[in-house]
Amino acid sequence: MRNIRNSNIELKGHPVTAQRRLLLKLIRDTRGHIDAKELYRRASSMDESISLATVYRSLRLFKELDLVDERRLGQVRCYYEVKQLGEHQHLVCKGCGAVIEFKSSLIHKLVDKVQSEHGFNVTKAELYLEGYCKECREEAKGSS
């Protein structure tokens, strides 16, 4: 099951370019999230002529093709991660910046309820929790 030549299936007819192949690989080699700037940095070290505009264009394409998910985690910028099978949500520590992923079946229940109550067809559900992890809480206690 070789994968050196391109499948062209993933990109649904969009030309498979070296840049897109590289960017998709870099995203998939990342555990967790990556933002456009960091992706650009990593891509540059493999192909120093790649442009930041291409990174953004590719991310938009991947998003449209449902290959990656885009999330805003606290800051202004966006973060990307490979599309996963199950939905999951994010818990961000304001102290150390750690991002923890978790799943909860309650989300489904909630979405179902909202759909029926408001006649909505919900296509995206993002729960963002922010706070302080155990370590950062203890640190704060100690220093104050």
Interacting partner of 20 out of a second copy, DNA, none (Cβ under 5 to 8 A depending on kind): DNA
15 binds DNA per the rule CB under 7 A = yes
Pick out residues in 90-109 that bind a second copy (CB under 8 A).
91, 93-94, 100, 102, 104, 106-107, 109
Pick out residues in 73-102 that bind DNA (CB under 7 A).
76-78
Whether 32 and 99 have beta carbons less than 8 Å apart is answered as yes
How many Å apart are CA 141 and CA 71, to the nearest integer?
31
Exactly one of 72, 84, 96, 97 binds a second copy (CB under 8 A); that residue is 72
φ and ψ at 46, to 5 degrees?
-100, -35
How many Å apart are CA 48 and CA 41, to the nearest integer?
9
45 binds DNA per the rule CB under 7 A = no
**For residue 89, what are the β-bridge partners?**
102
Whether 69 and 83 have beta carbons less than 8 Å apart is answered as yes
CA 134 to chain centre: 25
28 binds a second copy per the rule CB under 8 A = no
65 binds a second copy per the rule CB under 8 A = no
Shortest Cβ distance from residue 95 to DNA (Å)?
A: 19
Exactly one of 10, 41, 42, 61 binds DNA (CB under 7 A); that residue is 61
